[in-house]
Amino acid sequence: EVQLVESGGGLVQPGRSMKLSCAASGFTFNNYDMAWVCQAPKKGLEWVATISYDGSSTYYRDSVKGRFTISRDNAKSTLYLQMDSLRSEDTATYYCARHLRIITDYFDYWGQGVMVTVSS
């Protein structure tokens, strides 16, 4: 069974940093691209970043470029999101998702999400 379990969220002050982790199991992690998708309170879903299966390519939405870094450790089957210079508008639940990008562009498994609150 595919499982994605996020951790590392919480309350952080504006301008500070936070690192999220996503532990994957139930599939061959290094065969798949992975992504982070966020959801601000009472709002819709927003793609944040994607990393290729081997970590060689990364993609970001404009609003996080230069502030967020997606990475992975295939030996540990773990995905990361390093978030720097956090802003109040980054407050959201962050979901880790498996990202299928062959033929389609589709998130086929999602974690339960981890809440990040940026506030002083």
* Contact set with other proteins (CB under 8 A): 44-47, 59, 61-62, 93, 95, 97, 103-108, 110, 112-113
Cβ atoms of 37 and 107 within 8 Å: the answer is: yes
55 or 113, CB closer to other proteins?
Answer: 113
Looking at residue 72, its amino acid is: R
91 or 93, CB closer to other proteins?
Answer: 93
Tokens found for residue 25: 């199991």
The CB-of-13 to other proteins minimum distance in angstroms stands at 25
46 or 84, CB closer to other proteins?
Answer: 46
Using CA atoms, how far residue 73 sits from 5, 30, 77, in Å, is: 15, 9, 6
